């Protein structure tokens, strides 16, 4: 009995592998697994063998990293061919990794090697890598400052928007009075308030929090309200016939039923929060990644600007991924229904 099961499992694994590989690449697995190694090796050759035509006097971090990657991808490539089941994740991502290495080759070639793009605006990947490593401390602190502002602003915005939306969806009278405010103030981009906010608030920090709260409040309110207003009325009828109080109807029926819509609002709010945060930091706040970018730009150190952009990308995409994880956890009952 166990024999057939294990045979079955191997068969399934085999089929899965083939599906994975055939999904993303047009060549066989052996070569596909080695693609990252081949492209990183090419990058190393291109970067070290060709003559520089742009000045570059930093430590060769970039070269060191490529060298390490060459070794790692060689091991991974061989390992993936020997134990495909264990390396399935790598196999799936191998073409992407190779493509990224290819992109770095082109970037390095047109900047450092050919000097086709003007400095200081378009530094080479080696210069950006050096900036990332030299400035890691300032970048790290800036990222933390941004994160603090984002979490406070977003958190308060959601804490304010959620009840506003619930009350609007539940009480027609509340809706009557609040709707005009929502309609008129909501669509104004929060960044348009910067001149006023900077005067009205004691510090640029509190002013930025106000802007973030305002920015997040609108989408979350609208989506919560529409979510609650669209709840199947039969749910309330059933709940009332089971002895539910009004409080129970709101918190245990309306709110969970509106959750899918609320999550749309949470994602939209996060998007505008990013924009507002960075613009706020560029224009007023004396810390954070937005400030770092303006500061580096002031010194014409564009390699630092790119370094900050990379940190921002990692930070923001991490936050969005986290939000997706929370969504999947909370909306587990919608499995198969949500397609985004």
Q: For binding to other proteins (CB under 8 A), which residues are involved?
A: 232, 234-235, 237-245, 248, 252-253, 256-257, 259, 332-337
Compare residues 30 and 246 and give the one whose CB is closer to other proteins. Answer: 246
Residue 215, SS3? Answer: helix
Residue 320's CB is within 10 A of a number of other CB atoms, namely: 14
Residue 74, SS3? Answer: helix
Compare residues 187 and 243 and give the one whose CB is closer to other proteins. Answer: 243
How far from 121 is each of 53, 72, 118, 138, 295, CA to CA, in Å?
16, 32, 6, 21, 15
Residue 282, SS3? Answer: helix
The two most distant CA atoms of the chain are separated, in Å, by 81
End-to-end CA distance of the chain: 41
Question: Minimum distance from CB of 239 to other proteins (Å)?
Answer: 7
Question: Minimum distance from CB of 236 to other proteins (Å)?
Answer: 9
Question: Minimum distance from CB of 38 to other proteins (Å)?
Answer: 46
Compare residues 162 and 311 and give the one whose CB is closer to other proteins. Answer: 162
Whole-angstrom Cα distance, residue 271 to residue 273? 5
DSSP 8-state secondary structure symbol assigned to residue 111: I
DSSP 8-state secondary structure symbol assigned to residue 52: P
Compare residues 44 and 239 and give the one whose CB is closer to other proteins. Answer: 239
Question: Minimum distance from CB of 330 to other proteins (Å)?
Answer: 9
Q: Are 166 and 220 a contacting pair, CB within 8 Å?
A: no
Question: Minimum distance from CB of 115 to other proteins (Å)?
Answer: 59
Residue 88: name the closest of 35, 147, 18 by CA: 18
Q: Are 156 and 144 a contacting pair, CB within 8 Å?
A: no
Compare residues 215 and 259 and give the one whose CB is closer to other proteins. Answer: 259
Compare residues 1 and 242 and give the one whose CB is closer to other proteins. Answer: 242
Compare residues 1 and 337 and give the one whose CB is closer to other proteins. Answer: 337
Question: Minimum distance from CB of 327 to other proteins (Å)?
Answer: 13
For residue 166, give both structure tokens: 């619930």
Question: Minimum distance from CB of 22 to other proteins (Å)?
Answer: 31
Q: Are 138 and 128 a contacting pair, CB within 8 Å?
A: no
Compare residues 29 and 327 and give the one whose CB is closer to other proteins. Answer: 327
Reported in sequence order, the residue ranges of 150-257 that DSSP labels E, i.e. its strands, are none
Residue 338, SS3? Answer: coil
Question: Minimum distance from CB of 39 to other proteins (Å)?
Answer: 44
Compare residues 260 and 290 and give the one whose CB is closer to other proteins. Answer: 260
Question: Minimum distance from CB of 231 to other proteins (Å)?
Answer: 11
Residue 231: name the closest of 261, 206, 271, 210 by CA: 261
């Amino acid at each position: 009995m166990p024999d057939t099961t294990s045979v079955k499992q191997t068969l399934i694994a085999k089929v899965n592998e083939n599906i994975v590989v055939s999904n993303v690449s047009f060549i066989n697995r052996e070569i596909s697994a080695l693609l990252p190694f081949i492209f990183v090796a090419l990058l190393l050759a291109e970067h070290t063998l060709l003559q520089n035509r742009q000045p570059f006097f930093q430590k060769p971090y970039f070269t060191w990293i490529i060298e390490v990657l060459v070794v790692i991808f060689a091991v991974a490539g061989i390992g993936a061919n020997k134990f495909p089941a264990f390396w399935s994740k790598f196999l799936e991502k191998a073409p992407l990794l190779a493509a990224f290495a290819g992109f770095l080759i082109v970037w390095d070639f047109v900047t450092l090697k050919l000097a086709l793009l003007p400095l200081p605006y378009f530094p080479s990947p080696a210069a950006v890598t050096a900036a990332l490593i030299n400035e890691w401390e300032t970048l790290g602190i800036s990222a933390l400052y941004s994160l603090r502002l984002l979490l406070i602003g977003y958190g308060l915005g959601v804490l304010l928007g959620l009840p506003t939306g619930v009350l609007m969806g539940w009480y027609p009278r509340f809706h009557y009075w609040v709707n005009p405010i929502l309609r008129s103030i909501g669509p104004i981009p929060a960044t348009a308030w910067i001149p006023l906010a900077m005067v009205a608030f004691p510090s640029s920090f509190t002013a930025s929090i106000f802007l973030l709260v305002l920015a997040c409040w609108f989408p979350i309110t609208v989506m919560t309200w529409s979510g609650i207003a669209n709840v199947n009325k039969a749910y309330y009828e059933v709940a009332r016939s089971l002895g539910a109080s009004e409080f129970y109807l709101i918190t245990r029926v309306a709110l969970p039923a509106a959750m899918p819509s609320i999550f749309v609002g949470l994602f939209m709010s996060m998007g505008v929060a990013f924009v507002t945060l960075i613009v706020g930091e560029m224009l007023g706040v004396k810390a954070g990644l937005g400030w770092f970018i303006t500061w580096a730009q002031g010194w014409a150190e564009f390699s630092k600007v790119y370094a900050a952009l990379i940190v921002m990308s990692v930070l923001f995409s991490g936050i969005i991924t986290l939000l997706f994880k929370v969504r999947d956890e909370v909306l587990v009952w919608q499995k198969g229904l949500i397609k985004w």
